[in-house]
A and B are shown apart, each in its own frame.
Chain A
Amino acid sequence: MLRTIATLKESGDVAALNDLIPYARAVGLEAMLDEGGLLVALRFRESNIGNTQLRAIHGGVVGALIEHAAILHLLIETETAVVPKVINLSIDYLRPCLAADTFARGAVLKQGRRVANVRVLAWQDSVDRPVAAGHAHFLLT
């Protein structure tokens, strides 16, 4: 697994790295590189609906998008010899996340020897109107 991650990291194939994860395929999580670096997308799927009246995306799937973006940022931006293990995750829900594609970008705020702190912002139509924000700690040992 780590060797595959290392190979894909070297080639910059973040989409293939993302596709190694069955859950990412199951809920419609994708990874790509653009001018801002790594961008993670949660494609809209009916099966991700968590509120049928408002047609809002399930808050747990928004949480999964944030966690997934955080871990991919860590894998791509840092040198880690192991797959980082999530210690905890906090999600602030800022606006309703409606039936559309959702995007997330993160930043590694602090990478220590044993623990990393990652922040992530998620949005739909505009990055200036985030739907959720999150931060997570990961164990690197």
Chain B
Amino acid sequence: MILPANPPDLARIVKAFEALPHARVLGMTFLSLDHGRGSVRMPYRSELVGNPSTGVVHGGVITALLDTLCGAVVMAAVAEGTPLATLDLRIDYLHPASPGEAIRASAECYKVTATIAFVRGLAYHEAIDDPIAHCAGTFMLGTGFSATAASPVAAAEGASGGQPC
């Protein structure tokens, strides 16, 4: 991982991502964040269950957790202030999450080009070598929208694609 000339403020990224409304729903907190890699943890919550007969959390919870972490890891890998948008995300569900147990995730941004960042991650309970899910994602860099634009909607409409993060 080659660090950009003006690397981002990691503490600010952690604070911004933990404060996102949906990150708060998940109860997600960072265990670590470095340039291009990081890990998070979320507690088990019964309201996030997808299968009431087993108590297993909805796949969407894992998707949201990995998507958030991947966005943060990419943001930590590129120059301060670079706009990001998720281009795609692929999740492989390797085995069901255990009811009642906290979920952790780790991700790394393993390649950054002028326009695209590539990231991969794993979700697991205690041991990373017994993963619940694997993800691979790509993010567009500098998508044309600006967080400081007067009209967020107009700025978003001008974006070339993807989900801003």
Residues of A within 8 A of B (CB): 1, 20-27, 46-65, 67-68, 83, 85-98, 131-132
Contacts and interface: CB of A to CB of B under 8 A. Distances in A.
B159 A23 contact: no
A54 B22 contact: no
B47 A50 contact: no
Interface of B: 19-25, 46-53, 57-61, 63-68, 71, 85-93, 96, 145, 147-148, 152-153, 155-157, 159, 161-165
13 contacts: A1-B53, A22-B52, A23-B61, A27-B25, A56-B156, A56-B165, A58-B68, A59-B64, A59-B163, A67-B58, A88-B92, A92-B87, A96-B163
A63 B60 contact: yes
Contacts, number: 167
For A56, A57, A93, A132, the residue with the greatest tally of chain B CB atoms inside 10 Å of its CB is A93
Contacts of B88: 90-93
B47 A23 contact: yes
Contact of A93 (B48, B85, B145): B85
A61 B64 contact: yes
A116 B86 CA distance: 26
Contacts of B93: 85-89
A116 to B, nearest CB: 14
B101 to A, nearest CB: 17
Nearest to A1: B53
A96 B86 CA distance: 9
A114 B155 CA distance: 45
Contact of A26 (B48, B71, B85, B164): B48
A130 to B, nearest CB: 11
A124 B71 CA distance: 23
A62 B85 CA distance: 14
Given A60-B22, A88-B92, A54 B156 contact: yes
B60 A23 contact: yes
A47 B85 contact: no
A1 B156 contact: no
Given A22-B47, A49-B22, A60 B164 contact: no
